[in-house]
Structure 1
Amino acid sequence: MSNSVETPVSNRASLVFLSITLLTFLAASSAPTPLYHLYQETLQFSAATLTLIFGVYALSLLAALLTVGSLSDHLGRRPVIFAALLLDIGAMLLFILADSAALLIAARALQGFATGMATSVLGATLLDNDNRKGPLINSLAPLLGMACGGLGSGLLVEFAPHPMQLVYWILFGLLVLQALFVWRLPETVSAQPGALASLRPTLHVPPQARRALWLSLPVDVAVWAVGGFYLSLAPSLVRAATGSTSNLIGGVLVAVLTLSGALAIFTLRNRPGERVLRLGAALLATGVSLILLAVHSASLPLFLFATLVAGSGFGSGFLGALRSVLPLALPHERAGLMAAFYVLSYLAFCLPALLAGNLSHHFGLIATTDGYAAMLIGLSLGALLMLSWRRPARDLVV
């Protein structure tokens, strides 16, 4: 442990700083979503290139989780947080300067690596500071961050000048301030040998957490597949199905999905993990079914309501998975387990959406959505049955 002696005040300040920093990373990750159609119109690239710009972020994030995801268990938390902040600052500069699809791809790749590094180390540091509030903050921050980034960026695109740069300048300023402050945090782990060896791509799941991880995985896959769809194809789907032309629609959809998820997390924060998982699976299946109904009835209000229901399933499913798995790790296993958890989550986030983006070129967006939704409904109902038939709920409650 570090030589710093934490008081309750410094611990609370650390929690606030870590939460805001995690929110900033996730807000930055969703900020480009309302801008995608402007990039397409201005830079004249194809839908296939748009799918690549979305996908390279998630793939780069996975690369970070697989390589540097547990690095802070060996070097300490502060230097790894600082490195992630520097990388994301560089990504914001690339976005500001982007005048080609190649620069956008480079910006998203760098941002993905920075976010992958940040989510594992910040998640572990939150658990170091408070093992009770840490899982709750880790559940809320991604959803609130994506809501702030999507909606905030959408509002700036609609109403502010310089829509393709302003949001990145704001994020740049926040990240610089956080990089200056991070060294004031108390270090929560001591240096450990094996830093270079930890860079080998691997997934580290402690033995005591493996059963809980596999039981919660189907729900976690389903909720992140919904998230990937919303951040890539849902704005285009709403335009195709309802004829909406608003620049705000992409940001609004992301905000409705993630804010309803955050509300579900806060409401269910004290419920047993397995019950929350079952509720998440049921709500997700219901919400996706309603999305299908909204698409085929061309109803924007029903689409927003369906997003609200699906978002509640997103939040409750994500919370149930986190509460079932993360507290089972020992302090020097936390960053590695966070990295493994997010690797599986972001595989579900990017691969189905990338597949759907490619299939939509051949079968159309509506037909592809039908198949995507059927997969999600089947996965959610299958997870619900599995959780109902396996060992009683008390075995999964942490």
Structure 2
Amino acid sequence: MPASCTRRRIPRRGFALALAATILTMAAASAPSLFYPEIADRLALTPVAMTLVFAVYAFTLLAALLYLGPLSDRLGRRPVVTVGSLLLAVSLLMFWTAGSLAVFLAARALQGVAAGLLIPALSAMMIDFESAAQSHVAALWNTIGPMIGLGGGALGAAILVDLTTDPEVAVFGSLTAAFVLLAATVWTTPELVDRSPIARGELRPHFRVPPQLRGMFAAGVPAIVVGWATNGLFLALGTGLVREEFGGSTHTHAGIVIFVLAISGVTASLLLYRRTARTISLYGTSALAIGTAASIGALALHSYPAYVASVALVGSGFGTAFLGVLRTLMPHTGSAERAAVMAVIYTVSYLAFGVPTIIAGLLVPQLTLAGTMITLGAVIVAVSAAATLLRSRLPERG
């Protein structure tokens, strides 16, 4: 094989591996959500306890991002991906065998730490291997890869729960094996980061955005918040909502909702990614506002088809709002700052992912599940409208 052909294939292999690992990481985040109702029944957990189980993943991930997010910029992508993959495999084994709330919480906490290591390293790795001839492709796949993982993980787990006699073996066994394989396979790709020592005391919370990005980042924060808050609420409460308000008789009914949320985000991102960052962002926040308002109407009508249709619009907004932020920031981010900036972006994302679920858990006993979703949905509509206005005032930068 000619050497030039080999040089072309190595970056493609590195990019493909980073993308596949990102999809796998997010599938591991969404697949367990289909088991929540059964686990809650088995362990007699309250709604507050279940949202705490969900939120502990987000907050341990957040802590890992703050302390360890930029680690792969210093140590290299491969060792960080290896450690994160093995920790995630252990957390899945714990989740699989959990017989108490304490073990359940510990499994989700460890999964959050592992994801906090993996997400910025894999995101930066995709940018490392991006072809110069295909600018913005890493931003696109850093957006749609997680959505493919979230949707595919949820729907796949739902189908297995409905069709197999031992779905936990099928879901957690296969995911555990996949992460062990990933820990080894990442070493087949070249390391493009120059390793540098870490000084004592350097592993402390990092929440730094380079000065040239701060205005753009501030304008994008509301879009990140509403998108990921919506995503968190669907994953935490979506299964119960479909069962209680729409009469969903199978797990697949709930899995379809999460899958539609994700796949509509993928589709919209693919259709719009060649547009300007400003256009993508404005579409995303507008779609989040309109789609969330429509979902409130579908809840009031108790119409499952209308709810799925509204979720499609919400998902298209989630995907493109996040893509718009990445397209705005990444062209102005240096290679030595990529994992650090991605860590900040995901810190905001997972803070928005976790806090509303805790609030929802506290509200459900007072307002009912539907009332809670309507109340928080109204807040999301208002913040989405504000995000649209804020981004419209930010000029496009080359």
Residue identity matched to 1:217: V
Residue identity matched to 2:73: D
- What does 1:233-272 correspond to in 2, within 5 Å? 233-272=237-276
> What is the match of residue 278 of structure 2?
274
User: Which region of structure 1 is more displaced relative to structure 2, 297-306 or 93-102?
Assistant: 93-102
In structure 1, C-alpha distance between the alignment counterparts of 2:176 and 2:204, rounded to whole Å: 31
In structure 2, C-alpha distance between the alignment counterparts of 1:49 and 1:166, rounded to whole Å: 26
Q: Does residue 19 of the first structure (1) align with residue 30 of the second (2)? A: no
In structure 2, C-alpha distance between the alignment counterparts of 1:270 and 1:113, rounded to whole Å: 34
In structure 2, C-alpha distance between the alignment counterparts of 1:391 and 1:166, rounded to whole Å: 48
> What is the match of residue 84 of structure 1?
84
SS at match of 1:312: helix
> What is the match of residue 127 of structure 1?
127
> What is the match of residue 46 of structure 1?
46
SS at match of 1:165: helix
- What does 1:97-112 correspond to in 2, within 5 Å? 97-112=97-112
Residue identity matched to 2:358: L
Where do 5+ consecutive residues of structure 1 fail to align? none
Preserved contact between residue 248 and residue 254 of structure 2 (Cα < 8 Å): no
Query: Structure 1, residues 293-333: CA drift from partner, whole Å, max 9, x if none?
Result: 11000000000000011111111111101111123211111
In structure 1, C-alpha distance between the alignment counterparts of 2:188 and 2:238, rounded to whole Å: 41
TM-score (norm. length: structure 1): 0.95
Shift of 1:196: 4.5
> What is the match of residue 74 of structure 2?
74
In structure 1, C-alpha distance between the alignment counterparts of 2:386 and 2:394, rounded to whole Å: 16
Shift of 1:385: 1.7
In structure 2, C-alpha distance between the alignment counterparts of 1:19 and 1:69, rounded to whole Å: 18
Preserved contact between residue 68 and residue 198 of structure 1 (Cα < 8 Å): no
Structure 1 segments (4+ residues) deviating >6 Å: none
Residue identity matched to 1:11: P
Preserved contact between residue 98 and residue 104 of structure 1 (Cα < 8 Å): yes
SS at match of 1:336: helix
Q: Does residue 184 of the first structure (1) align with residue 177 of the second (2)? A: no
In structure 2, C-alpha distance between the alignment counterparts of 1:85 and 1:141, rounded to whole Å: 17
> What is the match of residue 219 of structure 2?
215
In structure 1, C-alpha distance between the alignment counterparts of 2:199 and 2:359, rounded to whole Å: 35
> What is the match of residue 332 of structure 1?
336
Preserved contact between residue 70 and residue 198 of structure 1 (Cα < 8 Å): no
In structure 2, C-alpha distance between the alignment counterparts of 1:391 and 1:220, rounded to whole Å: 16
User: Which region of structure 1 is more displaced relative to structure 2, 98-107 or 196-205?
Assistant: 196-205
- What does 1:328-367 correspond to in 2, within 5 Å? 328-367=332-371
Residue identity matched to 1:46: T
In structure 2, C-alpha distance between the alignment counterparts of 1:35 and 1:42, rounded to whole Å: 11
Q: CA RMSD in A?
A: 1.5
SS at match of 2:251: coil
In structure 2, C-alpha distance between the alignment counterparts of 1:254 and 1:31, rounded to whole Å: 10
SS at match of 2:168: coil
C-alpha distance 279-88 of structure 1, shift in aligned 2 (>3 A): same
Preserved contact between residue 71 and residue 195 of structure 1 (Cα < 8 Å): no
Shift of 1:165: 3.0
Query: Structure 1, residues 61-114: CA drift from partner, whole Å, max 9, x if none?
Result: 101100110011111111111110110011111122212222211111111111
Preserved contact between residue 147 and residue 254 of structure 1 (Cα < 8 Å): yes
Q: Does residue 147 of the first structure (1) align with residue 151 of the second (2)? A: yes
Q: Does residue 378 of the first structure (1) align with residue 389 of the second (2)? A: no
SS at match of 1:31: helix
Preserved contact between residue 33 and residue 236 of structure 2 (Cα < 8 Å): yes
Shift of 1:173: 1.3
Query: Structure 1, residues 167-208: CA drift from partner, whole Å, max 9, x if none?
Result: 010111111111111111101111123354441012121112
In structure 2, C-alpha distance between the alignment counterparts of 1:89 and 1:306, rounded to whole Å: 35
In structure 2, C-alpha distance between the alignment counterparts of 1:35 and 1:111, rounded to whole Å: 16
SS at match of 2:207: coil
Q: Does residue 156 of the first structure (1) align with residue 160 of the second (2)? A: yes
SS at match of 1:376: helix
Preserved contact between residue 75 and residue 195 of structure 1 (Cα < 8 Å): no
- What does 1:30-45 correspond to in 2, within 5 Å? 30-45=30-45
C-alpha distance 11-246 of structure 1, shift in aligned 2 (>3 A): same
SS at match of 2:363: helix
In structure 2, C-alpha distance between the alignment counterparts of 1:242 and 1:87, rounded to whole Å: 37
Residue identity matched to 2:55: G
Where do 5+ consecutive residues of structure 2 fail to align? none
